[in-house]
């Protein structure tokens, strides 16, 4: 079960203390390490073992996901706006997707979590203490799998996929560089931040320079250990319990609103 533990003050209005039946599994890493590919493979594998699976990721909330994508297309986001936008996206998914799914006994697979957001923010000069406080509402996952690759492996993968991206090259903080130089500098700084965070947040390092199959096999071994004492739940039952969990969350929010307005 996922223990109720947060990185800071916790989620506002969340009063549950009983562990959540599901599991929260995070895949972290920079662009080009193969997160999306592995999430898709892992979802199919976990479902084949009899578990209901919910997948999610950054910029996918109903509340803020579309807004973040539109703002990033304009290349005009400042640090404060960007990080508060991401915090809004994260808290919305936590309340409406992640926690209800965990309550219903789902295995939740998330493509990145708060660590990527914090690492990017720190590289851009944001105060580390401030950004950690902002994301103090985040639930501590059951497992954080860090797909790790060095620049000589990342560069050809990114070029073969879609080329250098404005934000992933840090062009907002390295405007005088060309895309290649900016990508190398920005990703070097980002990898250093992930390295610094690895011990603090108990990352499980996975060598992502290997083949897709080899990385997948290592990931399944790590996840198997976390799922060992979890009973499979049929999709039908889990879906029904998910609907009930979401309804309960809304009821709890309504109670909080009434209490605050009294």
The string of pLDDT tens digits covering residues 168-227 is: 999 999 988 899 999 999 999 999 999 999 999 999 999 999 999 999 999 999 999 999
Report whether pLDDT(30) > 70.
Answer: yes
- Pick from 225, 240, 245: which is nearest to 25 by CA? 225
Higher pLDDT, 251 or 109: 109
- Residue 259: pLDDT over 90: no
pLDDT tens digits along 39-94: 999 999 999 999 999 999 999 999 999 999 888 887 777 888 899 999 999 999 99
CATH 3.30.70.260 correct for 23-261: no
| pLDDT over threshold 90, residue 137 | yes
Q: How confident is the model at residue 253 (pLDDT cuts 50, 70, 90)?
A: low
Query: Over 80: is that where the pLDDT of 119 sits?
Result: yes
């Amino acid at each position: 079960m996922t223990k109720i533990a947060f990185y800071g003050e916790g989620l506002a209005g969340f009063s549950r203390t009983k562990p959540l039946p599901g599991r929260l599994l995070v895949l972290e890493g920079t662009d080009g390490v193969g997160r999306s590919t592995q999430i898709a493979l892992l979802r199919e594998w976990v479902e084949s073992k009899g578990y209901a699976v919910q997948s999610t990721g950054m910029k996918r909330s109903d509340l803020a996901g579309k807004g973040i994508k539109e703002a990033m297309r304009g290349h005009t986001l400042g640090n404060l706006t960007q990080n508060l936008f991401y915090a809004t996206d994260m808290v919305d998914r936590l309340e409406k997707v992640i926690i209800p799914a965990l309550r219903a006994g789902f295995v939740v697979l998330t493509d990145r979590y708060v660590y990527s957001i914090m690492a990017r923010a720190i590289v851009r000069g944001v105060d580390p203490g401030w950004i950690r406080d902002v994301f103090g509402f985040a639930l501590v996952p059951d497992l954080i799998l860090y797909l790790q690759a060095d620049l000589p492996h990342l560069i050809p993968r990114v070029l073969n996929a879609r080329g250098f991206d404005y934000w992933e090259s840090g062009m907002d903080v390295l405007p005088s560089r060309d895309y290649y130089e900016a990508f190398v500098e920005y990703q070097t700084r980002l990898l250093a931040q992930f390295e610094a965070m690895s011990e603090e947040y108990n990352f499980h390092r996975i060598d992502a320079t290997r083949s897709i199959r080899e990385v997948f096999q290592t990931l399944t071994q790590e996840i198997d250990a976390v799922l060992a004492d979890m009973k499979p739940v049929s999709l039908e039952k889990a879906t029904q319990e998910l609907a009930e969990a979401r309804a309960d969350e809304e009821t709890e929010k309504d109670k909080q609103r009434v209490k605050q307005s009294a």
